[in-house]
Amino acid sequence: MTLTPWWRNAVVYEVYVRSFADADGDGEGDLRGVRSRLGHLRHLGVDALWLTPFYRSPLADGGYDVADYRAVDPRFGSLGDFDDLVAAAHGHGLRLIVDIVPNHTSDRHRWFQEALASPPGSPARDRYLFRPGGPAGPAGAAGPAGAAGPAGAAEGPPNDWPSAFGGPAWTRLPDGEWYLHLYTPEQPDLNWRNPEVRREFEDILRFWLDRGVDGFRIDVAAGLFKDGTYGDLGGRDRRALHGPVYARSEIHPVYRAWRRILDEYDGDRMAIGEVWTEGPEDLALYLRPDELHQVFQFDLQLAPWSAPAFRDVVASALAAVAGAGAAPTWVLSSHDSVRHVTRYGRPGSAPGLGPARARAALLFMLALPGSAYLYQGEELGLPEVTDLPDAARQDPIWTQSAGGEPGRDGCRVPLPWSGKTEPYGFSADGVRPWLPMPAGWAALTAEAQAPDPASTLSFYREALARRRLLTADLPDGVEWLDSPETALIFRRGPFACALNCGEDPVRMPSGSVLLTSAPLHGDLLAGNSSAWLVPSG
Ligand code: GLC
């Protein structure tokens, strides 16, 4: 008998370290803070935690700009704190995976500093993507320079690629060379055709595997190689970067090599890639048996509140992984997206609509085959904080769009643990958290919700406890049962899940009800709610 590896059905909890719990009282979360709250995660009933980057970093992009991949940033703690956290997590029966950021480093990374101090054409510059400028034109006009190069000619960036966060993807150095950064100028992209880069990351993987991590979440996993011709997009939007950046076959040997390293270690070490693709076929390539164990599938998170849309998402997500023999992954919220309680509300709707739909969506997601990735705070039903003062915002999306886009700070506000006012137990009393926490979160704290059986926290605990008992032996596929158009009912073996996306109640199949997201009325499932049941017959 082969045992199912732990990650295949796991519920993984994303810890945004800076906002989870602050043990040292500087207003920012840290590794000792995470350790102090492991009891919450164990009681919640998740299987693993994923830590967002805690490495040495100037935090130009919340730590996704790494200056030293083998060091803990002092504001988050020390390597000793990390080792203690791994041991404590394992002691609680929790796995721990960490983020790895291979597409770019921080501009403060030793390699980039060396590149800046070295001339064009030098080996130090070859670790990044430096290019001479191009003619000034529409692309040049968008650049920061559009300036006279060393020879005095007006010049612009090498091509018209935009950064994901707004503005051009190139920055010019005083000596006339430009470097590529798909994200902020403080995140120069690495040259993955340089063997030294490959060796370095293989070594970094080993460094953290030796310290006991159970796996990696690979940031921007599809973006490492760029088409060396650097053709212009010619007016097409950012999605046109797919071909020249996000669908390059050179990537796969890199992950095969990483897989061999993971396989050298005992205990089912795994990797999940943050892969945005145009079609399901591309996803399956990453999931070949000698590559990554999982990829994120973001379609559920992107789907509107609609039964037909959810059904399509499930069908295509299952189809995408089936050929590879892999299990799907599901996400409703993350540190990069508007929290789903807020997404599911409608402007002008009753305040309870978003929370009701969020609970319904949780049961739907947890009933599906595969693994689910939760984002910290969703177990408290936290909404997006939409009214942060401009001066408090820190996301580079806000600054690079000159205030045109609010960015992602609204889902990164620190967690409320206890008490009646800021910092709600996130930090010591009187400490100001790095992002302000709203007045009125007293009822949302973990402390306030824990004793209330009707709270979102109690609901998550119950759903996760039941899922653990239920789903391990269920078939990997889903069988759709008849339902009204505004609802979905699917079955996995003896177990079924019904989701009503409409406003009107729908009749449930007969059987015994295990859990509902809202009270039932006889055999009627209320609008915007869901249920788990064992159908009779
Ligand atoms: C990923 C991360 C995001 C970060 C970006 C650049 O998409 O999830 O937070 O800004 O990569 O590293």
Give me the chain's average pLDDT, please.
Answer: 94
| Alpha-carbon span 323 to 285, nearest angstrom | 10
Residue 140 Cα to ligand 1 midpoint, Å, equals 26
For CA atoms 193, 196, 197, 199, the dihedral sign is positive
CATH placement of domain 110-180: 3.90.400.10
Q: What is the mean pLDDT of residues 308-321?
A: 95
Amino acid at 354: G
Question: 425-439: per-residue pLDDT in tens?
Answer: 999 999 999 999 999
Note whether 204 and 85 are within 8 A (CB): no
| Alpha-carbon span 221 to 275, nearest angstrom | 6
264 is catalytic: yes
Write the residue with the smallest CA distance to atom 4 of ligand 1. Answer: 64
Question: 239-296: per-residue pLDDT in tens?
Answer: 999 999 998 999 999 999 999 999 999 999 999 999 988 777 789 999 999 999 999 9
pLDDT at 4: 86
Q: What is the mean pLDDT of residues 196-204?
A: 98
299 is catalytic: no
Q: What's phi and psi for 272, nearest 5 deg?
A: -125, 130
pLDDT at 155: 87
The band of 504, judged by pLDDT with boundaries at 50, 70 and 90, is very high
- The atom number, within ligand 1, closest to the CA of 396 reads 10
| Alpha-carbon span 48 to 203, nearest angstrom | 24
447: its two tokens: 């402390």
The band of 224, judged by pLDDT with boundaries at 50, 70 and 90, is very high
The band of 148, judged by pLDDT with boundaries at 50, 70 and 90, is very low
DSSP tag of 127:
G
Which of the residues 227, 250, 263, 264 is marked catalytic?
264
Question: 370-380: per-residue pLDDT in tens?
Answer: 999 999 999 99
45: its two tokens: 């009933």
| Alpha-carbon span 527 to 518, nearest angstrom | 9
Record: fold of 6-104+195-386+439-449:
TIM Barrel (3.20.20)
Specify the DSSP element, H or E, that contains 283.
Answer: helix 280-286
Start-end of CATH 3.90.400.10 domains in the chain = 110-180
Start-end of CATH 3.20.20.80 domains in the chain = 6-104+195-386+439-449
Question: 437-493: per-residue pLDDT in tens?
Answer: 999 999 999 999 999 999 999 999 999 999 999 877 899 899 999 999 999 999 999
Residue 268 CB neighbour total at 10 angstroms: 17
The band of 153, judged by pLDDT with boundaries at 50, 70 and 90, is low
Task: Please give the full DSSP string across 237-264, using - where no structure is assigned.
Answer: -GGGGIIIIIT-TTHHHHHHHHHHHHHH
pLDDT at 154: 66
pLDDT at 147: 47
pLDDT at 277: 81
| Alpha-carbon span 154 to 140, nearest angstrom | 9
**Of 59, 45, 6, which Cα lies nearest the Cα of 434?**
59
Domain 475-534 has CATH 2.60.40.1180: yes
Residue 412 Cα to ligand 1 midpoint, Å, equals 13
pLDDT at 258: 98
pLDDT at 120: 97
DSSP tag of 136:
S
pLDDT at 3: 74
Q: What's phi and psi for 453, nearest 5 deg?
A: -65, -20
Judged against a pLDDT cut of 90, whether residue 116 lies above it is answered with: yes
| Alpha-carbon span 367 to 535, nearest angstrom | 14
Start-end of CATH 2.60.40.1180 domains in the chain = 475-534
Ligand 1 pocket mutation pick from 18, 184, 219, 298 by most atoms within 8 angstroms of CB: 219
Judged against a pLDDT cut of 50, whether residue 356 lies above it is answered with: yes
Question: 73-108: per-residue pLDDT in tens?
Answer: 999 999 999 999 999 999 999 999 999 999 999 999
| Alpha-carbon span 358 to 372, nearest angstrom | 14
Q: Counting runs of H as helices and runs of E as strands, what totals does the chain give?
A: 15, 22
- The atom number, within ligand 1, closest to the CA of 335 reads 9
Tell me whether residue 266 is exposed, middle or buried, using C-beta atoms within 10 angstroms of its C-beta: 0 to 12, 13 to 18, 19 or more: exposed
The answer for residues whose C-beta is within 8 angstroms of residue 270's C-beta and 6 or more apart is 5, 7, 97, 214, 215, 216, 262, 293, 294
CA atoms within 13 A on the CB side of 441: 27
pLDDT at 149: 46
Judged against a pLDDT cut of 70, whether residue 215 lies above it is answered with: yes
Q: What is the mean pLDDT of residues 298-304?
A: 95
- The atom number, within ligand 1, closest to the CA of 61 reads 10
| Alpha-carbon span 435 to 392, nearest angstrom | 6
Percent of the chain with pLDDT over 70: 96
